Amino acid sequence: MKFLRTVFAITLMLSPVFAVADSLEIEDAYVREPIPGRYMSAAFLKIENESEKSRTLVSANADWAGLIEIHTHIHDNGVMRMRQLQELEIPAGEIVKLQPGGLHLMLFKLKLPLAKELALDLCFKNGECETVTAKLRSIK
């Protein structure tokens, strides 16, 4: 009985930590298959923040890409340009979509050929990182 009570107490102590880690849902992560001969591409995904606290994506890393940057598209005198963001806020209760024509993870120095499923680490300002599996998807 004493053992059970101890376990319960530890669970209670740990649960807020798990709640924070579980509050982000990352869905539909995919990497666009690079054009043959090119070593850069983009990754897309949806991040849903189910918590009451804003979260901020600060970096992404993968062993199959030499460099990953957070990018957005801006309209500049009728021309679409990409711009690097140092961080990307995921407001509480909202879904941020990284999708073609908008926000994306820019992938540089790809180590080709890429596997069909790619582990991608997303790191947040609070020091937490989450690993998601991104599927390699052809452009067609």
Write out the residues near Cu ion by the rule CB under 5 A. 71, 82, 106
Residue nearer to Cu ion on the CB measure, 83 or 125: 83
CB of 139 to Cu ion, least distance (A): 15
In the bound state with Cu ion, the residue whose beta carbon lies nearer, of 26 and 106, is 106
DSSP string computed for the chain: -HHHHHHHHHHHHHHHHHHHHHTEEEEEEEEEPPPTT---EEEEEEEEE-SSS-EEEEEEE-TTEEEEEEEEEEEETTEEEEEEES-EEE-TT-EEEE-TTS-EEEEEEE-SSPPSEEEEEEEETTS-EEEEEEEEE---
Query: How near is the Cβ of 83 to Cu ion at its closest, in Å?
Result: 8
Q: How far is the CB of 6 from Cu ion (least distance, A)?
A: 51
Q: Measured from the CB of residue 104, what is the shortest distance to Cu ion in angstroms?
A: 6
- Taking the least distance from each CB to Cu ion, the nearer of 69 and 89 is 69
For residues 46 and 73, which CB has a smaller minimum distance to Cu ion in the complex? 73
